[in-house]
Structure 1
Amino acid sequence: MTSHSTNMRIKLPTICIILEVILIILFGVFVRYDKETDSKKWHAHHDNNGSEIENDFYYRYPSFQDVHVMIFIGFGFLMTFLKRYGFGSVAFNFLIASFALQWATLMQGFFHGMGSDGKIHIGIESMINADFCTGAVLISFGGILGKTSPVQLLVMAVFEVTLFAINEYIILNIVEAKDAGGSMTIHTFGAYFGLVVSRILYRPHLEKSRHREGSVYHSDLFAMIGTIYLWMFWPSFNSAITAHGDSQHRTVMNTYYSLAACTLATFALSSLLSEEGKLDMVHIQNASLAGGVAVGTAGEMMLTPFGSMIVGSLAGIISTLGYKFLTPILDSKLKIQDTCGIHNLHGMPGILGAIVGAITASMATHDIYGDGMANVFPLVADGEVTASGQGVRQAIALGVALGFALIGGCIVGFIMKIPIFGTPPDTLCFEDQIYWEVPEEHHASHEEMTAVATDEGMNA
């Protein structure tokens, strides 16, 4: 055990310090306030006659705070279901999110926010977009939860954020698809990236730790806190960067009803799938959120409230069935050890959301959208493409997201396997003690610690 602890004592501080120094230098060279953040530019732009309330901060900051809570509390606590990995779940989430939002500001800025002066100009919307990118990394983290070192997680974040920014730029600026809530750019990409990484990092002897992969009563209760936070704030997540007015209002409403319908479908199916009619907490914690994922793309479109409820119900059904039947198959047949079931919560509902978005876009008409067409489908409003053409663009965007996720995940997975980044021993996966000072009663057994020491001695 001593040798592994010593390795982390050197590796983790080294990578944290190096990454932060690089970030500070790059921010110093490239990052500047935008016109709504820079005092001089703001007042010059408004000639001292504009009201401060016109600043985008007042429109966006409430949504930003909601998204921020989702990233740090929602995702963090959702992963605390593991009975001996609570510290790692919520705190490694904290670590990689804190790094990823800084790196995402740069990577997204290089593609989206470079001004004529060669600088990245940031404001409240940049912060929201950085959190979105961070969300994709945390989704991937769920697929490998408990099986990687913090150094490996930071390495994954470095590459995934970069790939996310490229993928997002292609989908939104080259393909010109719409994806306000990120069904494709965030959920589909993050899920399948994480699944491929999990497959590359497959550990045939993980059975030595599988007894820790389950939950206990209080750990499931903590995870349910994460669920409730995510469920409550998901309307803000989907609507945070939509156009002010009817588009934003509609996105909140569509997400609101989709989540509600999804929850009822999840409870119904969870009970139905049990021989005794009992509910499974795994289903309730996760599948009840799938409705938010599934309306991410079409949320700002004229999906209608009842359409949102249908989509949410379908997402709850698909996700619950995935947890019940598909996860064991991925594990046993395809050797994909998906700790949090990200395929069921983010992967399949993300694809459903992309399909719903493509269908809804293809049915857009000026009679339905009126003057609001320019906000939702500017290319259709300008006559550059037909509604069906926009639907095709939406479908192409799904293919781009999947391609980046599968190929990128494969490459990054092999990078993460490089021994220098450290990997927890097979016998102590899903165990806080290897990286944390923990209370005495939480310590692994003497037999497990002896086995770890033996493994490390042999590896040395």
Structure 2
Amino acid sequence: MSRLRLSFKTGNIPSMFQDVHVMIFIGFGFLMTFLKRYGFSSVGINLLLAAFGLQWGLLMQGIWGMDGGKIKINIFKIINADFSTATVLISFGAVLGKTSPVQLLIMTLMEITIFSLNEHLVAEILHANDVGASMIIHAFGAYFGLAVARVLYRPGLRNGHDNDGSVYHSDLFAMIGTVFLWMFWPSFNSAIAEPGMDQFTAVINTYLSLAACVLSAYALSSLVEHKGKLDMVHIQNATLAGGVAVGTCADMSIGPFGAMLIGTVAGIISTLGFKYLSPVLASNLGIQDTCGVHNLHGMPGVLGGLAGIVAVALGKKKGGKAAMQAAALASSLGFALVGGAVTGLIMKLPFWGQPPDQNCYDDSLYWEVNKKKLSTAACHHTSQME
């Protein structure tokens, strides 16, 4: 056995945990710093929700595996706690800039509780395969967040907001999040896979899917944008869709072509979603998706679920059942939409301190901000652009 395969057989779980941890706190946090006046909140509230969520996740997931009336904690449990937190951070992206910290803590409490129920159903009752969590994390988190966003719809923001946009340096900070997520996604998709060839396969499939996704995202962004230029929104987000979409199939024997095909399709649908679908959701359905989580996590997550159904039907996973894969996808979407709507109604209660329309996407509502320096930096940026 080669040294490489031996390392995957023995496992290097603590380092994979750290990779996942970096994705949660740096990757997700900085990916959301694209808003020009909401960087403190993007990173700071991300830290708050993640720290609260991983503790609540340990409790909620631990309830399903108690031993002698006690909750066991080990490296796999804390990885799963980070995973449960990821669902909240995905949903956070859908309502970014329009909710108070208290509302978001309520959402964290509700979402992780519902997530743990769905996860138990998918893994322990349906016995579906979703090692990289395309369905139970990405699709669930996205559609939960979209349901919350729909319930919290703000007519006053229908025509946009002055602060709902980026500047040069805020997009640059967001790219830090993109690069960290892109580098560590193979660990995310393989962290809870069976040590050995399954884990090795998950790393390789994710690696190839991400690489193919980048090429399709860049190509399509250039194709749909004015004069063949690239759109930073597409590059920050659609380049990651391959990691989302290949998650369900990550440890299956889909081969390099299968992984790259999934990544290519994910990059295409994500880019097209940002370009054409997000405006339709906002104007026609009243879903104001700040970060475009539907395009990065929602549609690619569903694509991953569908790919898993096909792969299992083709015998790419020993012992798998296509019907159970389909049931897992339906369960994840159902729990997300219903749970998100109920959570949105609770968050809409007037005593949670929801910010008024004029104060949305503005750090100064919750943070001490040196407005003089902020104003000077904005003027300097404007003069540079001119």
Q: Same fold (TM over 0.5)?
A: yes
Q: Aligned partner of 2:36: which letter? A: K
Match of 2:366 among 435, 452, 455: 435
Match of 1:234 among 185, 200, 205: 185
Give the CA deviation at 1:206: 2.0
CA-to-aligned-CA distance 1:351-375 (integer Å, 9 cap, x gap): 000010111011116xxxxxxxxxx
Task: Confirm whether residue 102 of structure 1 aligns to residue 33 of structure 2.
Answer: no
Task: Confirm whether residue 162 of structure 1 aligns to residue 93 of structure 2.
Answer: no
Contact 1:209 1:427 in 2 (8 A): no
Question: Superposition pairs for residues 51-66 of structure 1, below 5 Å?
Answer: 59-66=12-19
Alpha-carbon distance in structure 1 between the residues aligned to 2:322 and 2:278: 31
Given the superposition, is the C-alpha separation of residues 315 and 343 from structure 1 closer, same or farther in structure 2, using an over 3 Å criterion? same
TM-score by length of 1: 0.78
Give the CA deviation at 1:207: 5.1
Alpha-carbon distance in structure 1 between the residues aligned to 2:83 and 2:271: 25
Q: Aligned partner of 1:438: which letter? A: V
RMSD: 1.8
Q: Aligned partner of 1:330: which letter? A: L
Give the CA deviation at 1:440: 2.5
CA-to-aligned-CA distance 1:79-118 (integer Å, 9 cap, x gap): 000000000001000000000000000000001x211x11
Q: Which moved more, 1:303-312 or 1:217-226?
A: 303-312
Aligned to 1:350: 301
Contact 1:84 1:442 in 2 (8 A): no
Q: Aligned partner of 1:347: which letter? A: G
Aligned to 1:133: 84
CA-to-aligned-CA distance 1:34-76 (integer Å, 9 cap, x gap): xxxxxxxxxxxxxxxxxxxx9x996310100000000000000
Alpha-carbon distance in structure 2 between the residues aligned to 1:441 and 1:253: 49
Match of 1:83 among 26, 36, 42: 36
- The 3-state SS of whatever aligns with 1:146 is coil
Question: Superposition pairs for residues 167-316 of structure 1, below 5 Å?
Answer: 167-206=118-157, 210-316=161-267
TM-score by length of 2: 0.93
Q: Aligned partner of 1:418: which letter? A: L
CA-to-aligned-CA distance 1:239-269 (integer Å, 9 cap, x gap): 0000000000000000000000000000000
Alpha-carbon distance in structure 1 between the residues aligned to 2:374 and 2:172: 22
Alpha-carbon distance in structure 2 between the residues aligned to 1:67 and 1:75: 11
Alpha-carbon distance in structure 1 between the residues aligned to 2:338 and 2:202: 32
Aligned pairs, number: 370
Structure 1 moving runs of 4+ over 4 Å: none
Contact 1:152 1:422 in 2 (8 A): yes
Contact 2:198 2:252 in 1 (8 A): yes
CA-to-aligned-CA distance 1:363-407 (integer Å, 9 cap, x gap): 116xxxxxxxxxx54xx2xxxxxx5xx011101100000000000
Which fold has the larger relative contact order, with Cα–Cα distance below 8 Å and residues 6 or more apart in sequence? 2
Contact 2:90 2:141 in 1 (8 A): yes
Give the CA deviation at 1:411: 0.3
Alpha-carbon distance in structure 2 between the residues aligned to 1:82 and 1:191: 19
Q: Aligned partner of 1:397: which letter? A: A
Alpha-carbon distance in structure 2 between the residues aligned to 1:338 and 1:440: 27
Q: For structure 2, which runs of at least 5 residues remain unmatched after alignment?
A: 1-6, 376-386
Aligned to 1:422: 353
Aligned to 2:382: none
- The 3-state SS of whatever aligns with 1:210 is coil
Contact 1:199 1:337 in 2 (8 A): yes
Give the CA deviation at 1:275: 2.8
Aligned to 1:413: 344
CA-to-aligned-CA distance 1:407-440 (integer Å, 9 cap, x gap): 0000000000111111111101000000000112
Report sequence identity in percent. 60
Alpha-carbon distance in structure 1 between the residues aligned to 2:157 and 2:48: 25
Alpha-carbon distance in structure 2 between the residues aligned to 1:417 and 1:57: 49
Q: Aligned partner of 2:341: which letter? A: C
Give the CA deviation at 1:274: 1.3
